[in-house]
Amino acid sequence: MKHNIVRCLCLLLPVLWLLTGCAPAPAPTAESYDDFVVVGFSQVGAESDWRNANTLSMQQAFSESNGYRLIFDDAQQKQEKQITAIRNFIHQGVDYIVLAPTTEKGWDTVLAEAKSAGIPVIIVDRMIEVEDDSLYTCWIGSDFLGEGRNAVRWMDQHLGDEPLRIVHLQGNLGSSAQLGRTAGLNEGLSTHPEWQLVYRESGDFTQAKGQELVEAILADGLDFDVIFSENDNMTYGAIDALKNAGLTPGKDVTIISFDASRHALELVMQGQISYDVECNPLHGPRVESIIQKLRNGLSSPKLTYVQESAFDAENVTQSLLEERGY
């Protein structure tokens, strides 16, 4: 199965040449493909700064200079596009499939096809839920419930037991990041009767939708004290909406966010975001290290959680901003 497409192309080229009289650019020969480890990467999309940093990290790790040929597919946040991409990877006979899944469910059938083709699948970032966990070799990503609990702990410690009216901007519904962060907030709501959830909607992790949602609740005259936003891009949109309404983020409204990208931490330093829980996107070297292990006949833990931090005005420094990798 390996690189069948490539071999077919090599056979067709001379015929095309004779028919068209023009010499097409030489396709990579099977040997040239064989010089590389071919990795098919199905990415969620380009919905956020986090996602773009994750893509760049993967592209840098799986470079030709590192011995890889990366076949990259952007699913535009649609699971059906990811399923099609995985089937294409199988057909092309890649050596490894890396999947950053949009949502947790719906992967059993296509991953069974990858297993039948003998292609190892590595899950990165969000988690998947399958009947048979042999359908993927291993997963590496974040503890999203832990991230949500971290945010609630900070709220408990810094916002005291005063009554809080909370606006909750959720990420892509059904994604591990949304499920975990939401579960953390729900635990907080159940243990703090003085906290009231006054609004909950999904902003799809995008800045535009985050701004749209907050503009709408301001227009409706909703009163609230806290915005619990499940990623920085939705937070940027919410901040724009607050400012356009004459409100001061961090003063009139406390903002809790997730991802902790460099720009967001600048806003933490300025007092606009009160607390930002890190979700580290720089998975490229981590996934590449897993593939190196597998190629050397070594195993990798089934689940690997990356170490992450969190930031408020107390621990954000200029040097931290300068050194930040994303």
Shortest reach from residue 267's CB to ligand GZL, in Å? 15
Q: Residue 231 interacts with ligand GZL (CB under 6 A)? A: yes
Q: Residue 205 interacts with ligand GZL (CB under 6 A)? A: yes
Cβ–Cβ contacts within 10 Å for residue 185, how many?
23
Shortest reach from residue 168's CB to ligand GZL, in Å? 15
CA distance to 160, 170, 271, 302, 320, per residue, from 163 (Å): 9, 22, 21, 42, 34
Residue 66, CB half-sphere, CA atoms under 13 Å: how many? Answer: 17
- Name which position in 135, 184, 249, 259 contacts ligand GZL (CB under 6 A): 259
Shortest reach from residue 203's CB to ligand GZL, in Å? 10
Cβ–Cβ contacts within 10 Å for residue 298, how many?
9
Rounded to whole angstroms, the Cα distance separating 280 from 287 reads 13
Shortest reach from residue 105's CB to ligand GZL, in Å? 15
CA angle in degrees (0–180, nearest 5) for 105-117-176: 20
Please say whether the beta carbons of 69 and 36 come within 8 A: yes
Shortest reach from residue 233's CB to ligand GZL, in Å? 6
Please say whether the beta carbons of 232 and 281 come within 8 A: no
**85 versus 279: smaller Cβ distance to ligand GZL:** 279
Q: Is 276 helix (H, G, I), strand (E, B) or coil?
A: strand
- Name which position in 33, 94, 125, 290 contacts ligand GZL (CB under 6 A): 125
Kind and range of the H or E element at 158? helix 144-158
Shortest reach from residue 48's CB to ligand GZL, in Å? 4
Q: Residue 126 interacts with ligand GZL (CB under 6 A)? A: yes
Interaction residues for ligand GZL, span 39-98 (CB under 6 A): 47-48, 50-51
CA distance to 33, 36, 72, 91, per residue, from 67 (Å): 10, 5, 16, 21
Q: Residue 169 interacts with ligand GZL (CB under 6 A)? A: no
- Name which position in 41, 89, 258, 275 contacts ligand GZL (CB under 6 A): 258
- Residue 228 identity (one-letter amino acid): F
Q: Residues in contact with ligand GZL, total (CB under 6 A)?
A: 13
Instruction: Supply φ then ψ for residue 43, to 5 degrees.
Output: -100, 150
**47 versus 276: smaller Cβ distance to ligand GZL:** 47
**69 versus 283: smaller Cβ distance to ligand GZL:** 283
Q: Residue 283 interacts with ligand GZL (CB under 6 A)? A: no
Shortest reach from residue 177's CB to ligand GZL, in Å? 4
Rounded to whole angstroms, the Cα distance separating 25 from 23 reads 6
Residues that bind ligand GZL (CB under 6 A): 47-48, 50-51, 125-126, 142, 177, 205, 231, 258-259, 279
